[in-house]
Amino acid sequence: MSRPTTRTPVAIFNSHVEFVDTLREALDREGLPTATALLAEIQDGTLDLVAFLEVHDPRVIVYDLPRPFERHWNFLRLLRQTDALQKRTWILTTNDKKALDAAVGASDVIEVILGGPYGVADVVDAVHHALRGASAQSLGGDAYARRPFV
């Protein structure tokens, strides 16, 4: 893999353009540059994910798990198995954590997940914690950490 041209602390992968823009602006105000992509672009191959990672090399990935959970969960697990994505911190977001747990099982597979309702400020806080290497348990509320992610 070639050297990244820019070290971008945070990548945002989400299915909602409005949320991507709002979160990007909030992180930018915090001095945290972001690189963004829509989940559909990643899943259908429109976005060259390998090139994206080479260019941006994010430390933290904020990844949304929309419905249908099984399909998106399986895709995430495939992504997570690739060499380029294994050593990154993942913040997973979903609007319905209980339904996600029911669909994929409540096994120890998630590093950080924010269940709905969550706001941009919650995600920004989780990103700061992840960049500092802090435990997700210190976030409180509906965020929690579980390892390993396989």
pLDDT tens track for 49-107: 999 999 999 999 999 888 888 888 889 888 888 888 888 888 888 877 777 777 666 54
Residue 65: phi and psi, rounded to 5, are -110, 95
Topology (CATH) of 10-144: Rossmann fold (3.40.50)
Domain residue ranges of the chain, discontinuous segments joined by +? 10-144
Q: Which residue shows structure tokens 């820019």?
A: 6
The pLDDT assigned to 114 comes to 61
Nearest to 61 by CA among 108, 110, 18, 96: 110
What pairing do the DSSP bridges indicate for beta strands 60-64 and 34-38?
unpaired
- Between 108 and 49, where is the model more confident? 49
Give 3-state DSSP helix, strand, coil % of the chain, rounded to 5. Answer: 45, 20, 35
User: What pLDDT, in 10s, does the model give residues 7-64?
Assistant: 788 999 999 999 999 999 999 999 999 999 999 999 999 999 999 999 999 999 999 8
User: Mean pLDDT throughout 106-114?
Assistant: 51
